[in-house]
Every structure is written in structure tokens, then in C-alpha cells.
A = this chain, B = another copy of it.
């Protein structure tokens, strides 16, 4: 069981849009034991679409394509699919009813001919209901390969994958057993980590494959086992993860597949019924934004004072003006005062603060670009660390936010122990 993913759209090839759909589709397929062997992005061009469909037919079990289903002239996927299958369009009453309901009831405007045309589908296609949009998904088969066409809008595609595509694929194919386990590490670089676990890695059983997935400040180790016996694979993986945990327990933060640092922190805070707030200068709302992207965060997150202007550090967080003058706005003293101020004003158990210079110019303060002070205030006091995250700006912001959350995590665990 393998798959290819095709993204169709000129906006991808000119780099205006980043394709996030393929990653979601691949991850979803992987969970049900279908391995993606290739992803490709092509333009809204009939010939290239037909060539690509031909290339994968008979080579992979499933082709999932996204994009090119919009109502406008440059969207030609549906027409081209119809041609590839030597098919003709028929009118689907259910789709029309759904489109009418969305456009008239929800967007509150009269339905247009372009909207109505979205109800045209190839006669051989199984129509997949698109709850959140007007372009239906389609399922077609040819030469031993299933071709699935989905809209390119990410939340429409996601709902279609989860509710329509996955249940049908699970019914249609018997699949091998693939098991993933992840080990999330923070604070150690990829090559140093590799050296520390070298002998463990050398002795991994044949069925297990290891991947290093580094991103700024962290490395995710992904172990993949393939086989027929689920229980045997589970045991095999668990034993290896236990062995690994003994070697690098100091830098492991979790094992959950989708667990990001903000989710890990939220989980700990909720379990211990503690609350968090933030005072963000250089990270500019990024910490708050990471946390609040996840539903349920109101149980532990009180808020963040994004005090970009110096005056607002004084007015909102009650940072001492003379401390700012004496030590500069980018200093450990100010970071500590910000964290303590946020803890007070938000009445939270913990508060984390950032102040630094993200670059790309030196700005008001004397510190080097990339210098960031991070402080965590908690019931047992306040800690502060200075970091040098280098350049560019994007990296500084990303690393500072991740490091801040990592410090919160370790402070809570330290205080509880």
C-alpha cells in the first residue's frame, strides 16, 4: 500500500503559496499504514496534469490530488480528470443543494452560475461531501489505482480527509502494520545527540528505522517499525525507547506524536491545575499565539502583555523605570521585572518573559543582535537566562519562544519534585 500526492496550482510553482496540504495528507495516510512514496507539485496545465496521472497509474495504490477545483477559469483539475477518465459531467443535486445553502444561507449573497457549476461532477466519480466549501471531493479508479481529488483550501481538505477519504481507504484496502513512536528532545543539537546515542542506534533491530527531525532548539527522534504482528512491534519499539530513555533522559521532554512544546507545557499546567501568563517584548505575541492556537488553553492560560514599547513595560507590567534606564531595556533585570509584573497583573502561578534584540539592526540597546533574556517567575522565585540566538530574525523569534516555553516546563517540574 503506497501513495503519491499531487498538488495542482500555478500559485505553488511560483512560490506564492506554500503547500501545507501534502504534509497533512501524508501524516494521515501514514497513520493508517499507507506510505507516501512521492509528492509532486505541478501547474494548472492540462498536459502536465494528464502526464502526472499517467505516471502514477498502476505504480501506486492511491493518488491524492489537491487544488484546481475552484470556480474560476484557471482551475482545470475537474475538467482534466473528466478527460483522463473518458467521462462526461453530470449534475449532482446534493452538491447543488449544499452549495446553495452555503452561498445563500451563510455567505448571504445570491448564487451565481459559477457556483452552480461546482455541482457538475464526472459520472464515474464517487462524490465526497465537502462540509466547509463549495467544491466537492471526488473518488475515481483506473488501472488498479484509486484517484482522489480534493479542494486545495486546507481546512476543507482536512475535513474531507478525516471524514470521507480515510474511512473509505480503510474499507477498500488491507494494509500492513506500521507503528511510529516519537521521542522529543530539547536543548541538544543533532550531531551531539547522534554521538550520544550512536551505539544504541547501531544495535536497532532491522524492522525499526530511525529518523532525526531537527528544528531550532529541538530534535524529534522518530522510530518507525513495520511488520505483521502489532503486539510484537509494540513490544519491540517500547523496549528500544526504554533503552534510549536511559541514555538521554536529561533532554527528553515527551513522547507524544503531535506534542509541541506548548502542548507539553499546557498538559503539565492542566494536570497540576496551575496557570501561566506571559510578558513578551521581542517575541511579540508569538508565545501567546502558539498557546492559543490550541483549543482548551483558557483552562491554564491567562494572557500575555505584549509590551513592545518601553513605556508599556512600565505602565502595564510596573517595571521600574530607573531599572530600564540603568540596565537597558534588554537586560536580565528588566526580564525579571517583566515576568514578576505579568505574574502579578494576570494573577497567574507562573509567568514567562522575553526581552531581546531580534535584529536585523541593532536598535535602541547596546546588545548584539540575537541576544535574548528570558525569565520565569513562579511561586518559588524567579530565574533568568541570557541567550545568543544569532540571526536571522525569524530564527531568533522561533528559538526564543520555544526556549521560553521549555524553561517554563522545567521550572514547573523542578518546583513540584
Q: Could you tell me the distance between the alpha carbons of A37 and B109 in the complex, rounded to whole angstroms?
A: 38
Q: Could you tell me the distance between the alpha carbons of A196 and B12 in the complex, rounded to whole angstroms?
A: 25
CB pair A301–B308 under 8 Å, yes or no, is yes
**Contact flag A16-B303 (CB < 8 Å), given A285-B286, A390-B132:** no
CB pair B211–A10 under 8 Å, yes or no, is yes
**Total copies of the chain:** 2
Interface pick from A40-48, A168-176, A319-327, A375-383: A40-48
A276 to chain B, nearest CB (A): 10
CB pair B25–A114 under 8 Å, yes or no, is no
CB pair A190–B222 under 8 Å, yes or no, is no
Q: Does A234 contact B (CB under 8 A)?
A: no
CB pair A41–B27 under 8 Å, yes or no, is no
CB pair B28–A15 under 8 Å, yes or no, is yes
The A interface is mostly helix, strand or loop, or mixed, namely mixed
Residues on B with beta carbons closer than 8 Å to the beta carbon of A132: 390-392, 395
**Contact flag A316-B308 (CB < 8 Å), given A15-B36, A71-B191, A287-B285:** no
CB pair B11–A194 under 8 Å, yes or no, is no
CB pair A302–B298 under 8 Å, yes or no, is no
Q: Does A142 contact B (CB under 8 A)?
A: no
Closest to A182 in B: B16
Q: Could you tell me the distance between the alpha carbons of A393 and B294 in the complex, rounded to whole angstroms?
A: 9
Interface pick from A82-90, A240-248, A265-273, A359-367: A359-367
Closest to A14 in B: B30
New A-B pairs, 14, CB < 8 Å, besides A109-B192, A155-B395: A12-B39, A13-B37, A17-B23, A38-B48, A39-B41, A40-B40, A71-B191, A285-B287, A292-B397, A293-B394, A295-B359, A297-B308, A305-B305, A316-B316
5 smallest CB-CB distances across A and B, nearest first, come from: A284-B292, A15-B27, A285-B288, A15-B26, A285-B285
Q: List 21 A-B contacts (CB under 8 A).
A: A13-B38, A14-B180, A14-B211, A18-B20, A19-B22, A38-B41, A38-B42, A73-B201, A73-B210, A132-B395, A153-B214, A155-B392, A278-B306, A285-B304, A293-B393, A301-B309, A302-B309, A306-B306, A315-B346, A316-B316, A316-B345
